[in-house]
Structure 1
Amino acid sequence: MEGEQAGNPGCPSPEEAWREAGAVPHQPGPPVIKMLSLKLPRLFSIEQVPQVFHEQGILFGYRHPQSSATACILSLFQMNNETLNIWTHLLPFWFFMWRFVTMLWMTDIQNDSYSWPVLVYMCTSCVYPLASSCAHTFSSMSKNARHICYFLDYGAVNLFSLGSAIAYSAYTFPDGLVRTTFHEYYVALAVLNTILSTGLSCYSRFLEIQKPRLCKLLRILAFAFPYTWDSLPILYRLFLFPGESAQNEAVLYHQKHMLMTLLASFFYSAHLPERLAPGRFDYIGHSHQLFHVCAILATHMQMEAILLDKNLRKEWLLASSRPLSFPQIAGALLLCVIFCLSNIIYFSAALYRNPEPELHTKET
């Protein structure tokens, strides 16, 4: 996910900026020289890239706004203002994938239905960091590619939200809420929240230039509401009546998860510290990098809490709760994927019906 944009419309194209800077046009040369030129792509300042690529408080280190896929991949190994955004999710993806594959290998999938929800959760915990790292990697290919990359990123984040709800429903509900009406409809409403959140977050990108504040507000609400819904049983457990089976070592990890989530939300919405010192945190230490780190730590804490609840409460849950069936889990995931992809396709097509949204005057 990206930071809020800032800047002035009507900026020169990268090609014009190159000529103004006296850059030497590319000339054919020996293969070694060509390889070196690929490894060191030119970076630009905020005035040299279209407004749609601007990030608040980030003044330098922008990649070419029409980069090739190869150049985008090579940019992973050059310090620019997206490098750490990519690696702070790409490396955790491999860690979460290792944990998921390990659990998958150790589980009798056909007969151990009790473990199905945690496998779904761990799978979705791999999807969102991969989608995020890919979005940040390829978002500089074009302005439409940038939007579509983040549409997919938003869909992956919301799929993870549904995975969290499925795991919470299976393992973390406090004793007093198990088998209540709230519990019965909890996952179904999480599916609805996921679909609506994907649509709202995708729609918000069309407001970035004209109404950036409204855009940011809608995007924050789009992610905050599903998270709040998912967290209701945890909040009840932490602050009201957890029940005997829910008073275990997992509580500490649930608390840490919520703390890290609050920190991630703060960095995402506040744009600190780069807003206080524009240009000083372009490459290292800006808010989106800190947001990524906090989000990954929050996921790690959440995963530990869910695994502890799954193991420590197994006997009580099997005796007292009604486990999710395979059709319920598969149906929830299938509905989410179908409708979220439909949202993404619809808004992607809208980009080509409205090809130049960044030319509008920015709201003051």
Structure 2
Amino acid sequence: MNESATDGPPPMTISGARLRLADFLSNAKRCRLRPRPPVPASQVPILFQEPYILSGYRPVGQDWHCYLLSVFQRHNESVNIWTHLLAAAALLARWWAEPVAPGDAPGLAALPLGLFVASALAYLCCSVAAHLLQSRSELAHYSVFFLDYVGVAVYQYGSALGHYFYASEPEWRAGLPGPAYFPGAALLAWLSCAGCCFAKSYYRRPYPPARRICTLIPTGLAYLLVMSPTVHRLSGPWGQRPGLGLHAAHMALFLLSTVFFSCPVPERFLPGRCDFLGQGHQVFHVLLALCSLTQLEALLGDYARRRATVLEDFGEEKVWWACVLHPVVAGCCLLTALLASRRKRGQLLTETRERREAKDGS
């Protein structure tokens, strides 16, 4: 009796667990060694097809491992993945490499800068996840891009923190945008996320121009508000305000990136020639990565010049209040994305059921 109780689980249980483990390892090995090659646009649903990109699509419905490991494959999303992956690594390395002044310890004055860096890393990582995993299924496609919009919105508010506390001038803060800056930045960040989620969920390919309007208007308004302290500085004499060259470069890179985001060039004029390299969205990714790195460099310089007076100029209460809004914005945007994903899941299930019923009826 005692011997049988100490012999361990029955042989059938051990055998079943070993079979499941062997099957899992076999699938993982097969996915790693022989990932399914990219296919032409005609072999994936229209949701995954990009204008003028005729090949290089990853097949839909593979195991999750295949999409994670596709980071090492050559397909039409490879450049989009690696540009932001490398940008995230470069941004983090630059942040860690920033020299610390003697006797200077991170404190409340550095919190807005730290939240900006975290926000930039969040949007870069969300972008990597979106482009890496979106080919798994229609629901995965929508869900990961909803998450991507969360990252963009969080980055917008993180930028607002950095530009307000390190780049703004007293004259600007005394004007109209000053008191409404953080509530406006928080609201527009959420509207940007909500507008992008709505446009992605509501409009179907081929996308009409109205979809661009839904995404660009709230994002554009948010950018204008967030960058208003820097625009005010750029309008004055540069000689008395060091570091403005980096801010000007950052703004120029961002504005140029919006051109390639909005227009499918050069692939529009070279259909099929830019399937793997040279797409407008890839150029957009490169410019946006350079924009974020330049923005960090500009804010690091501003912080080095103003860190001793941040709390004196703004007060601890204002810094805390503005920084606490950051996780609130992130939480609201994440909740919006989750609700959008849940609603889209219901729509997709309904469409699948209707197609099945129509097929059975015919």
Aligned residue number for residue 19 of structure 1: none
In the alignment of these two chains, the number of paired residues is: 325
Secondary structure at the aligned position of 1:355 is classed as helix
- Structure 2 residue 113 is the aligned partner of structure 1 residue 118: yes
Aligned to 1:236: 232
Residue 278, structure 1, aligned to residue 278, structure 2: no
Matched with 1:6 is: none
Partner of residue 302 from structure 1, selected from 295, 307, 312:
295
Name the CA distance, whole Å, in 1 between partners of 2:61 and 2:207. Answer: 25
Backbone CA RMSD of aligned residues? 2.8
Counterpart in the other structure of 2:3: none
What do residues 251-300 of structure 1 show as CA deviations (whole Å, max 9, x unaligned)? 00011001100111011001100011110000011111110000011111
Mapping of 1:100-179 within 5 angstroms? Answer: 100-101=95-96, 108-109=105-106, 112-179=107-174
1:73 and 2:68 aligned: yes
- Counterpart in the other structure of 1:262: 255
Q: Distance in 1 between matches of 2:317 and 2:80?
A: 36
Q: CA deviation at 1:212?
A: 2.5
Q: Structure 1, residues 219-264: CA drift from partner, whole Å, max 9, x if none?
A: 222322211111112112212x4699xx333100011001100111
Q: CA deviation at 1:358?
A: 9.3
The 1-side partners of 2:32 and 2:326 are apart by: 45
Contact 2:39 2:55 in 1 (8 A): yes
Residue 100 of structure 1, CA deviation: 3.7
Instruction: Write the deviation string for residues 13-66 of structure 1: whole angstroms up to 9, x where unpaired.
Output: xxxxxxxxxxxxxxx9xx79x648744422111111100001111100000121
1:347 counterpart = 2:340: yes
CA distance in 1, matches of 2:138, 2:100: 41
CA distance in 2, matches of 1:242, 1:181: 22
What is the DSSP-based 3-state SS (H/G/I as helix, E as strand, rest coil) of the residue aligned with 1:273? coil
Say yes or no: does 1:250 pair with 2:243: yes
Aligned to 2:181: 186
Task: Determine the C-alpha separation between the residues in 1 that align with 2:314 and 2:31.
Answer: 61
Q: Could you say if the C-alpha distance between residues 345 and 242 of structure 1 is closer, same or farther in structure 2, counting changes exceeding 3 Å?
A: farther
- TM-score w.r.t. the length of structure 1 is 0.81
Q: Distance in 2 between matches of 1:83 and 1:92?
A: 14
Q: Partners in 2 of 1:209 and 1:289 — Cα distance?
A: 20
1:18 maps to: none
Match for residue 220 of structure 2 among 224, 227, 250: 224
Name the CA shift for 1:197/1:273 in 2 (closer, same or farther; >3 Å): same
How many Å apart are 1:305 and its aligned residue?
1.1
Q: Which amino acid aligns with 1:224?
A: G
Query: How high is the sequence identity, in percent, across the aligned residues?
Result: 27
Go from structure 1 to structure 2 and tell me whether the alpha carbon gap of 1:50 and 1:164 turns closer, same or farther (over 3 Å shift).
same
The alpha-carbon distance between structure 1 residues 323 and 287, as it changes in their structure 2 partners (threshold 3 A), is farther
The aligned counterpart of 2:358 is: none
Superposition deviation, residue 308 in structure 1: 1.0
Q: CA deviation at 1:331?
A: 2.5
Distance 1:140 1:49, change over 3 A: same
> What stretches of structure 1 move > 6 A for 4+ residues in a row?
104-107, 356-359
Paired with 1:275 and 1:45, the residues of 2 have a C-alpha distance of 17
Cα distance 1:36–1:340, how it changes in 2: closer, same or farther (>3 A)?
closer
1:88 aligns with 2:66: no
Q: Identify which of 330, 334, 337 aligns with 2:330.
A: 337
Q: Distance in 2 between matches of 1:201 and 1:127?
A: 17
Gap regions ≥5 residues in structure 1: 1-27, 360-364
Relative to structure 1, the CA distance from residue 122 to residue 242 in structure 2 (aligned partners, 3 Å threshold; closer, same or farther) is farther
> TM-score scaled by structure 2?
0.82
* Structure 2 residues not aligned, in runs of 5+: 1-22, 353-362
User: How far apart, CA to CA, are the structure 2 residues paired with 1:305 and 1:105?
Assistant: 17
Q: What is the rounded CA distance, in whole Å, between the counterparts of 1:54 and 1:312 in structure 2?
A: 48
Q: Distance in 2 between matches of 1:282 and 1:76?
A: 16
- How much does 1:321 deviate? 4.1
Aligned match of 2:8: none
Q: Quick check: which one's helix share is greater?
A: 2
> CA–CA distance in 2 between the matches of 1:37 and 1:337?
35
